[in-house]
Each structure stands twice: as C-alpha cells, then as structure tokens.
C-alpha cells in the first residue's frame, strides 16, 4: 500500500466497485451475483455467508483491521448498518458491477453512478449526526478504494473500452464531491461468479 505522509492518519474506508470489495450490498437484490449462500462464508467468522464473494473476509475487511479501525467493513445497504457505523466507513460496491453500465443493467447490480449517489446520501447522514466540519474531516482522512473493471474484462472486453469513459467521468464526479484527498487504490482481480453454484 502506498502511503503518503499526509495520509498516515486514516479514520474511515469507503469502497466502490465489484465483487472484490462488495461486503453484502447485493443481498436484498434480484441478481445472480449474490454470495449470501453456501459455500460462501465457509471460513468467515461464525461461518455465515455474509454476501462476500469469498470463503472468508475480503481485502477491505483486512484493510480496516490493519488500520485499526474495525474488524470488518460493513455493506452500506446492510439493514443492520447504523449511522455510527458510517463514520468509520462502509462499502458501496456491488458484485457484478462493471465500468460498463449495460451489463450492470442486465444483471441488476448497482452501477458506479448509483454507488456514488449512495456515498452522497451517506455523507448527508454523517453530516446530520456529526456536523458538517466533522464530516469533511472524516472524508479528508478516508481511504477510498475503487476496485472495478475485472467484470468488463471477463465478460465483454469490447465494452471495457466504452466503459473507460464512464469511469473517468465517475472519478471526476467523486473528486468534485468534497475538497478531500482520498487515497486511490485499485485491485484488478479475476472476479468470481456467484451464480455458478456448487449444489
Ligand atoms: C444506474 O442505475 C440507476 C438505477 O438503476 C439508473 O437509473 C441509472 O440510469 C444508471 N446509470 C447509468 C449511467 O446507466
């Protein structure tokens, strides 16, 4: 991880993208990209299939625990998430989400644009509970993780080329949200396909 001196104090983590960083946002959606079923979660604390496309924790979970923030990065759409949880960060990612929005639509997953809308909604909630200046402080000291593009490369390489313009637009949209200096970090992994079940 690249850490610039001014980023050494990180108090919150916000993740955007696909299954590599989705900690359960698809659980209540009608989409094939769901991982809240066996054998997912086999090695997760409590052996629960939390919606993470993994047998255990995901990288954002390890990141928040390495940073000493909390043990797991909750999913923003988890009904159990409290306003207080938002202060130390959540994931807005949606398994199956690509940079190309057509595939997001086909699979009914949360596109990058909607993930950003949720981020704005989350910031409003943080401002309401903590006040505007504290909210700005939280965002300024946050780690923003964007992990997307693997789905496009796997499913539709041609669409990836079209999608690039989309993500550039989205990044501009993120940076215009607040005067903050997020640490951008991307992981390009081969995604898993939760609809291929082992029955
Ligand atoms: C993203 O998803 C929302 C909700 O489904 C939709 O209204 C919007 O048009 C989508 N955005 C793009 C760029 O496709």
Q: Supply the DSSP string of 12-51, one letter for each residue.
A: EEEEEESTTT-SSTTTTS-SS----STTTTTTSGGG---S
The residue whose CB lies within 8 Å of the most ligand 1 atoms, and thus the one to mutate among 99, 105, 107, is 105
Q: How many CB atoms lie within 10 A of CB 43?
A: 11
Asked if 62 and 35 touch (Cβ cutoff 8 Å), the reply is no
Closest residue by Cα to residue 29 from 70, 75, 60: 75
Q: How many CB atoms lie within 10 A of CB 158?
A: 9
What is the full per-residue pLDDT of the chain (199 aa) written as tens digits? 444 444 468 889 999 999 989 999 999 999 999 999 988 999 999 999 999 999 999 999 999 999 999 999 999 999 999 988 999 999 999 999 987 787 888 899 999 889 999 999 999 999 999 999 999 888 888 888 888 877 776 665 555 555 554 544 455 455 555 444 444 444 455 556 666 655 4
Q: In the chain, how long is the greatest CA-to-CA distance?
A: 51
C-alpha span between 20 and 73 (Å, rounded): 13
Identify the residues whose C-beta falls under 6 Å from ligand 1. 101, 111, 113-114
* Residue found under tokens 């209540």: 28
- pTM for the structure as a whole: 0.83
* Shortest-distance Cα residue to atom 11 of ligand 1: 113
């Amino acid at each position: 991880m690249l850490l610039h001196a001014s980023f050494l104090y990180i108090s919150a983590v916000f993740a955007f993208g696909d299954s590599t960083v989705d900690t359960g946002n698809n659980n209540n959606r009608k989409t094939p990209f769901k991982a809240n079923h066996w054998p997912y979660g086999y090695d997760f604390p409590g052996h629960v299939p939390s919606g993470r496309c993994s047998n255990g924790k995901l990288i954002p979970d390890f990141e928040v625990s390495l940073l000493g923030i909390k043990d797991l990065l909750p999913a923003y759409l988890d009904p159990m998430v409290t306003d207080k949880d938002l202060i130390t960060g959540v994931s807005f990612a949606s398994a199956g989400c690509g940079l190309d929005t057509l595939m997001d639509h086909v699979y009914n997953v949360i596109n990058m644009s909607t993930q950003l809308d949720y981020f704005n909604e989350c910031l409003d909630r943080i401002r309401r509970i903590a006040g505007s200046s504290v909210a700005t402080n939280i965002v300024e000291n946050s780690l923003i993780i964007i992990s997307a593009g693997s789905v496009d490369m796997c499913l539709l390489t041609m669409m990836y080329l079209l999608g690039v313009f989309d993500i550039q637009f989205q990044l501009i949209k993120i940076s215009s949200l607040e005067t903050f200096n997020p640490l951008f970090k991307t992981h390009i992994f081969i995604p898993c396909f939760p609809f291929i079940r082992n029955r």
